[in-house]
Amino acid sequence: MNWMLVLVMYGILIFGLFMVESAARHLPYPADKHDLFPSAGLYYAHLDKYWIAAGSVAFFAASFVNYRWIRWLGIPVYLVSLGLMGVAMVQKNAVYQVHFGSFSFQPAQLGIFSGIVMIAWLMQDLPKLHRIFGSPLARIGIIGVTSAIPFLLVMKMGDMGSALVWVPVIVVALVIGGVPFRYLSFMTFISIGLLPLINFIALPMLSKRGPERIDTWLRMAQGQEVDKNGDAYAAYYVSMAIGKSGWKGAGWNASADSGSLHARKLIPFLTAHNDYIFGVIGEELGFRGSLLLITAYGILLIQCLFIAFYSKDVSGRLICCLVVALFFAHIFENIGMDVLLLPITGIPLPLISYSGTFIVICMFLLGLVQSVWIHRNDGVEEEPVEA
């Protein structure tokens, strides 16, 4: 057991519980819970504990079961996730969730998890069937097709943030999957050349809000006038809350008297506990609290890369590195949109945001990484990589 990974993961989760309590304090919650939970923050932090408990079961189950067995779940879970995305598109609710009674979740989150497992399985086992699957073009095709289907579905659903997560995952899969540098360079030049086509033609067709958010972000970055009560509302007030916080911040659960924008409900309070939780962290805990969290994330990701280094097969390395890519993309997008480095995308902060099933999925993925470490000595013979 890699105890550093376990300690840092639970440290981030506990930190997240405190921040959910502060970030969710303005949310409505059931009237029959008011006696038990004096504030909405306490109520949602309590619910978050159940998700963490479920995630803990998933984490330790994935840790002790050999990841080489778990990867066989890739195909059925991948197909189920695609089907659920179709159901979500039919239901057409605001956030494209699938509802089963009182339970709901976003299938896009399941799609990225199943995609990681699927790619790891295909890249490990298909070359054993025939040497042609070990060729660079075959590897590119395997990764491209596996990721393109959920990517396009998520874009069609309008969830630009979840779709963009696939980009670093695909890049890392190509690199770790053994695709030669000359192929990667060629694909990079092609992608750069297609950017205008994607921005002006494909993106407006696939996402209604995406072009508007990009335009607002560019205008703010250039110092142009924007509608602070309209499209630029969230970006303006969240970035202002972080920018004025200083070294110490306004203090945890700060009141309006201390100048807290969150206490005045200027940070979008309906999503402050998930999409904009870093804005609350930055305002209340200041630069030092934000730096502490980012450092903890860095240690977590470095541990995953450390485990990847000791893996003896392609699938183990892919699982570890793709989990790092997924976490990094979420962290960079969430923090980046709050400090105006990126357009608003609406994506949760791993292990911190109140995100229900996403916490369980993140902990399960970290459990797979832990499984790679625990079963690292059960080595598999490496397949030769053809250049």
289-322 tens-digit pLDDT = 999 999 999 999 999 999 999 998 889 999 999 9
**Residue 311 belongs to some domain of the structure:** yes
Q: Residue 385 pLDDT more than 80?
A: no
Q: Is 380 part of a structural domain of the chain?
A: no
Band (387; pLDDT cuts 50, 70, 90): very low
In a domain, 31, yes or no: yes
Tokens read off for 332 = 């960079």
User: What is the model's pLDDT at position 379?
Assistant: 56
pLDDT of 384 reads 44
Q: Which of 280, 289, 365 is nearest to 330 (CA)?
A: 365
pLDDT recorded at residue 164: 86
Q: Flag whether 379 is in a domain.
A: no
Parent domain of 157: 3-374
Across the chain, mean pLDDT equals 88
The rounded distance, in Å, linking the Cα atoms of 263 and 274 is: 16
Please, what's the b/e burial string for 232-266 (b: 16 or more CB within 10 A of its CB; e: otherwise)? bbbbbbbbbbbeebeeebbeebbeeeeebbbbeeb
pLDDT cut 70: percent of the chain above it: 92
Residue 382, in any domain of the structure: no
Map residue 140 onto helix, strand or coil: helix
For residue 317, the model assigns a pLDDT of: 94
**Lowest mean pLDDT: which of 47-56, 110-119, 177-186, 237-246?**
110-119
Query: So what's the pLDDT on residue 109?
Result: 80
- Check if the beta carbon of residue 324 is closer than 8 Å to that of residue 304: yes
- Identify the CA nearest to 234 among candidates 269, 199, 283, 192: 269
What average pLDDT does this structure show over 364-372? 96
Give per-residue pLDDT as tens, 50-62: 999 999 999 999 9
Rounded to two decimals, the pTM is 0.92
How far apart, in whole angstroms, are the C-alpha atoms of residue 347 and residue 161? Answer: 6
What confidence tier does 156 reach under pLDDT thresholds 50, 70, 90?
Answer: confident
Q: Which residue has the higher pLDDT, 95 or 174?
A: 174
How many CA atoms lie within 13 Å of 72's alpha carbon, on the beta-carbon side?
Answer: 4
- Dihedral of alpha carbons 309, 112, 292, 6, sign: negative
Is residue 158 included in any domain, yes or no? yes
Give the C-alpha separation, 359 to 51, whole Å: 7
Residue 297 has a pLDDT of 98
List, in order, residues 6 or more apart from 83 with CB less than 8 Å away: none
pLDDT exceeds 60 at position 94:
no
Q: Specify if 246 maps to a domain.
A: yes
C-alpha closest to that of 371 among 38, 5, 17: 5
* Count of domains for the chain: 1
Residue 203 has pLDDT above 80, yes or no: no
319 domain-assigned:
yes
